[in-house]
Chains A and B, each alone.
Chain A
Amino acid sequence: GENVEQHPSTLSVQEGDSAVIKCTYSDSASNYFPWYKQELGKRPQLIIDIRSNVGEKKDQRIAVTLNKTAKHFSLHITETQPEDSAVYFCAARNAGGTSYGKLTFGQGTILTVHP
């Protein structure tokens, strides 16, 4: 099955700096890669996603890049703000058999933005 590795496990930045979180996946057939933000005690919420036919996608201060050949994708947050502090999860969507549509998640990155 799919395996998703996420790094770093913790990331601390100063307000205004950029933050980058990286994920690798094992199944070359995976075709959809969402990122979720989870604040303490709350549900994971989708913040951005990318399909395998696109190399980059941007939404205001957040961008995601995908390298299908290397099987890795990254989340980029620019001009970080204290409210960006949360746990971020990457995921890869299975693309075959009865697992089609199932998301496999990375281990999470705790992002702390210091004012």
Chain B
Amino acid sequence: DTGVSQDPRHKITKRGQNVTFRCDPISEHNRLYWYRQTLGQGPEFLTYFQNEAQLEKSRLLSDRFSAERPKGSFSTLEIQRTEQGDSAMYLCASSLMLWAEVRENGYTFGSGTRLTVV
């Protein structure tokens, strides 16, 4: 397990369709984060998990977005009824939180899933 894996790398979908992305974090990492990045912008926080618990969800996140991490390992991010404004790069990152301290190497990012809604 050498890094964070995301699948698929690219997704083109028609407006109104549902899409699901998968993230496999570094196996020993207990924290998993989802971010969205549009061209020319920094990563924007969507949600995160510690083990299987979803601890925070961005207030900017529509109800069409849902994420799960059922066994505290991989995570899925689903977008229902996609809109053109959902087109972006969806980044997953993981980190290790021990005794309320985050390892000094911070996040490890996956390569992202690029979503294009047509």
Q: Total A-B residue pairs with C-beta atoms closer than 8 Å?
A: 60
What 7 A-B pairs come out closest when comparing CB atoms? Answer: A105-B42, A43-B109, A34-B106, A98-B55, A101-B102, A105-B43, A43-B111
- In the assembled complex, the Cα of A6 lies from the Cα of B104 at a distance in Å of 22
A26 to B11, CA, bound (A): 36
Q: Could you give 8 example pairs across A and B, Cβ below 8 Å? A: A44-B109, A46-B105, A49-B105, A49-B106, A93-B106, A102-B45, A103-B107, A105-B42
The residue that B41 contacts in the complex, of A32, A98, A107, with Cβ under 8 A, is A107
Task: Indicate whether B21 reaches chain A with its CB closer than 8 angstroms.
Answer: no
Contact B112 A6 (CB under 8 A): no
Report A-chain residues with C-beta under 8 Å of the C-beta of B111. Answer: 42-43
Interface membership of chain B positions 25-44, coded 1 if the CB is closer than 8 angstroms to chain A and 0 otherwise: 00000010101000011111
Q: How far is the CA of A43 from the CA of B90 in the complex (A)?
A: 11
Is B48 positioned at the interface, with any CB of A under 8 Å from its CB? yes
Cα distance, A34 to B107, chains bound together (Å)? 9
Q: Is B61 an interface residue (CB 8 A)?
A: no
The number of chain B residues touching the other chain, given as a range, is 20 to 34
Q: Name the prevailing secondary structure of the A interface residues.
A: strand
Contact indicator A108/B56 (Cβ below 8 Å): no
> Is A28's beta carbon under 8 Å from chain B?
no
Does B91 reach chain A (CB closer than 8 Å)?
yes
How many A residues touch B, CB cutoff 8 Å? 26
- Tell me whether A32 and B106 are in contact in the complex, defined as CB-CB below 8 angstroms, given that A43-B111, A108-B41 are known contacts: yes
- B89 nearest CB across to chain A (Å): 10
CA distance A42 to B41 in the complex (A): 14
Query: CB of B95 within 8 A of chain A?
Result: yes
Interface positions of A from 1 to 28, Cβ below 8 Å from B: 4, 6
Q: Is B45 in contact with A104, judged by CB distance below 8 angstroms?
A: yes
Q: A103 contacts which chain B residues (CB < 8 A)?
A: 33, 45, 106-107
Give CA–CA (A51, B103) in the complex, Å.
11
A4 to B110, CA, bound (A): 22
Q: Which residues of chain B are within 8 angstroms of A105 by Cβ–Cβ distance?
A: 35, 42-44
Given contacts A44-B43, A107-B41, whether A101 and B109 have CB atoms under 8 Å apart is no
